[in-house]
Structure 1
Amino acid sequence: MGLTSDKVLVLAIVIAAVLFIGTVWLWPRLARRSWRSVSGRVALLLSTQVALFACVGLAANQSFGFYASWADLFGTETGQGIVVDHSVNGSSGGPLQVVSTAEVPGVRAKRPETGGQVQKVDVVGRTTRIATPAYVYLPPEYFQPQYRTRTFPVAVVLTGYPGTARSLVDKLDYPSTAQGLAKDGRVQPMILVMLRPTVAPPRDTECVDVPGGPQAETFFAKDLPDAVLSHYRAGKRPGSWGVIGDSTGGYCALKLAMRHPKVYAAGAGLSPYYKAPIDPTTGDLFHGDRMLRNRSDLFWLLRHETAPDTSLLVTSSRVGEHNYTSTMRFIERAQATNVTRVSSIILDSGGHNFNTWRREIPPALQWLSGRLTDR
């Protein structure tokens, strides 16, 4: 049974309940002061506590999508994905391969022409050789005959760290949200490319071109757009692409839009931070390269480099988010450039979690759609 399986959670709850009942039932028998009775009480208490913590942990993981599998949880998942050749003649099919297709969760429509489609894909960077899985949402219009010659704007959607790409589909509901907004005429039909910024798991690369390591920034700035354009009717003109993400993905979204405005015309950071951290999950990202470190600091970019001609959206909460003060400083700094356009969503309260981001995603997608061209 998989880590995110409902059966695993139910089993953990049953075990915890049995241990709790057993502790209450056996406690009088273990009331003596002998070493066996004391050991029995300790064992029952520890077992019950572990079972309860397991229930809470499994429930939290199902809600927030921190880990996708047991291997992901224990850090034994180190593979960078497998390229699957789906071409008829067995020849190379390009940098993007479709692995499977599915209906959009929460949308009652069997045909892609009316309900859109979610495709699981494998992407391999031609220049970076980074391989990573992703999900692609195609709106219903993509499959309708009257739009067969039309290209569509693209929004790259990034998770936090560690995150799972699947959580963007069925936890944060990006495809169904985008489709509902488009149906109501509040956003234009867009292609969503959903993946996690952790393209070299389990390492958190913070979308940095690590010297001698994964070239994560180049992957997102060059390889990913090239792969998507090679396979889908995506917009090729400047202004056709945007990027949005939460937490680590929010930092990456802002950085990509600021450092590569000719690729990403707009970037939305939900609960972002503004400087790449160095901790056990990232390792040494900069290898003593001071300029690389500086250019991973978004405040430094606004102070020392030419202000990027791009649009940025940042979100925070007055109560519940640790980034509120830095977000207000970032807004002030970006406004002072008179070039970089900045918008914000500031909630009265909301934590660093999926519930908060689900409140911010609909207006953020509307904002992003309004800044992307449709051809």
Structure 2
Amino acid sequence: MLSPLDLSLIHGPIPITATVAGALALVTLAVRKNRRWWTRIVPAVVPACAVSVAVLKFVVDHVWKPWPERLPTILSVWVGAVLLAVCLAVARLRVGRWCSRVLSVVLALVVTASAVTATNAHFGFYPTSRAVLEVFTNNRVDLDEAAKPASSLVEVPAGGKLADVWRKPADLPDKGTVSEAEIPGAFKARKAWIYLPPAYSATPRPRLPVLVLLAGQPGSPRDWFDAGRLPERLDAFAREHDGLAPIVVAADQLGSRTANPLCLDSKLGQSETYLAREVPAWIKQRLTVDERRGAWTIAGLSHGGTCALQLAVRAPDVYGNFIDLTGQREPTLGTRAETVKAAFDGDEAAYVRVNPLDVLAREQFPRTAGVIVAGRDDLPYRQADAEVFEACRKAGMDVVWKELPGAHDWNVWRPGLYDSLPWLAARTGLSR
């Protein structure tokens, strides 16, 4: 029987019930049998809240601009609903009996909870309540313990595949391990999150392929482990492949949730050098991995997808494969002019030298393979992804196009990555 903790927070009765409850709570807060309430309080509070939300949206979209996309309309609506509920509740606290005041607070909390649930459903961040609760658990293993040096290694013949020689030990664990580690470099990055599959604990140990995984903006490396459900999905994949799965290093290309160094080497930071040189060097020094470029994949969602494409063309000697999950057309801070000015002091030629579409137009990449995933309802990004796919194809890449139901959210990013695992396994030798 399905546990209540496994009921969807994205589809079905929970988000619908939350939306209805929020609407009813807001209406209840707004209705009161008092002439002054209807002639003074409500006419003052409603416009004030609407103006506040409009100003907030303008500041975020046109002044602060922490990310290229504008605030989604649904998010603005729910922010307005919460603000209105709080203001109405505060106004009601000044009059009435204690039970009415308590009810006002409860109703404001209901609207807030509804807003959080609706926002989560829109972005598809936490699929279930269990996923939310697991944020507060700590199942991480110290990397020094999880990644002890191997006493012996599985030998793969030249030109062969790991799957052809691998034999699953009887005592192999059912799950992999999750660790955090600081990867030093020229770029001030947050800690990376690392998944080591069950086969990593085997003796002899196989040299496993590497998947460097990037989050979106705003975001952090941990997002793939919380919203992405990565350990759960990779453990399931490993069970179907005798314990084999890629080593995953969720690295940080941003530096903070609101930063955007564009995954380039510029005045905004040395993000490209970090991901193209320093992170791979650390992985090879710290972990037992297959060092062939064909065994290395760079992948990411949204901003991270754009970055994955950038690394595929800027560091093709390191990454033989890439997965671009609804990435942008090009690295951007809003417009090309704004991007060039902020990162390169207006030097358009400097930007053209590193912009992936410009690189693809002048160079060929016959040894690189990739998957480009687009959301069917993600209209602006879908068009950009189609343009990127065509540019990759013309540059000689072996690229696959995947179009999934959904928009610019985790409902596309999760299946986009995990449905690509069979492709990745075939490319990197994990399957026959």
- TM-score when normalising by structure 2: 0.63
Amino acid at match of 1:344: W
Cα distance between partner residues in 1 of 2:363 and 2:347: 17
Matched residue of 1:228: which SS? helix
Amino acid at match of 2:209: P
CA deviation map 1:46-100 (0-9, x unaligned): 631775774455335656498xxxxxxxxxxxxxxxxxxxxxxxxxxxxxx8499
Distance 1:254 1:369, change over 3 A: farther
CA deviation map 1:311-330 (0-9, x unaligned): 12101144433233333333
Which residue of 2 is the match for residue 69 of structure 1?
none
Cα distance between partner residues in 1 of 2:201 and 2:356: 39
Amino acid at match of 1:333: A
Deviation for aligned residue 1:166: 2.0
1:115 paired residue among 172, 175, 181: 175
1:341 paired residue among 398, 413, 424: 398
Cα distance between partner residues in 2 of 1:217 and 1:36: 54
Deviation for aligned residue 1:276: 1.1
Q: Is the 8 A contact 1:314 1:327 kept in 2?
A: yes
Pair 1:242-2:300 in alignment: no
Cα distance between partner residues in 1 of 2:332 and 2:48: 40
Distance 1:33 1:340, change over 3 A: closer
In the TM superposition, 1:55-66 aligns within 5 A as 55=113, 57-59=115-117, 64=123
Matched residue of 1:113: which SS? coil
Higher helix share: 2
Cα distance between partner residues in 1 of 2:366 and 2:187: 28
Matched residue of 1:368: which SS? helix
Pair 1:29-2:29 in alignment: no
Deviation for aligned residue 1:249: 0.6
Structure 2: tracts of 5 or more residues without a match: 1-19, 50-80, 88-107, 126-141, 147-170
Structure 1: tracts of 5 or more residues without a match: 1-12, 67-96, 102-110
Pair 1:268-2:318 in alignment: no
Distance 1:305 1:30, change over 3 A: same
Amino acid at match of 1:266: N
Matched residue of 1:152: which SS? coil
Which residue of 2 is the match for residue 202 of structure 1?
258
Amino acid at match of 1:364: S
1:124 paired residue among 184, 189, 192: 184
Which residue of 2 is the match for residue 136 of structure 1?
194
Cα distance between partner residues in 1 of 2:248 and 2:412: 21
Distance 1:54 1:297, change over 3 A: farther
Matched residue of 2:274: which SS? helix
Q: Is the 8 A contact 1:130 1:219 kept in 2?
A: no
Pair 1:167-2:172 in alignment: no
Distance 1:131 1:250, change over 3 A: closer
Higher strand share: 1
Distance 1:368 1:203, change over 3 A: same
Which residue of 2 is the match for residue 323 of structure 1?
381
Matched residue of 2:428: which SS? coil
In the TM superposition, 1:8-23 aligns within 5 A as 21-23=28-30
Deviation for aligned residue 1:18: 6.8
Number of aligned residue pairs? 319
Distance 1:267 1:53, change over 3 A: farther
2:427 paired residue among 355, 371, 374: 371
In the TM superposition, 1:49-60 aligns within 5 A as 51=108, 54-55=112-113, 57-59=115-117
Question: Which moves more between the two structures, 288-297 or 214-223?
Answer: 288-297
1:361 paired residue among 417, 423, 428: 417
Q: Is the 8 A contact 1:120 1:135 kept in 2?
A: yes
Question: Which moves more between the two structures, 257-266 or 301-310?
Answer: 301-310
Pair 1:47-2:52 in alignment: no
CA deviation map 1:257-308 (0-9, x unaligned): 1211111110000111221112399781222332331144322111123446
Distance 1:118 1:321, change over 3 A: farther
Cα distance between partner residues in 2 of 1:30 and 1:99: 69
Cα distance between partner residues in 2 of 1:229 and 1:30: 73
Distance 1:329 1:36, change over 3 A: closer
Deviation for aligned residue 1:159: 0.8
Cα distance between partner residues in 1 of 2:287 and 2:346: 40
Deviation for aligned residue 1:354: 0.5
Ranges of 4+ aligned residues in structure 1 off by more than 6 Å: 13-19, 40-45, 280-283
Root-mean-square deviation (Å): 3.9
Cα distance between partner residues in 2 of 1:220 and 1:236: 16
CA deviation map 1:184-238 (0-9, x unaligned): 2399421101134312553111211113x41000000011112222221122233
Amino acid at match of 1:299: L
Q: Which protein shows a greater Rg?
A: 2
Distance 1:28 1:209, change over 3 A: same
Cα distance between partner residues in 2 of 1:301 and 1:208: 14
Pair 1:231-2:231 in alignment: no
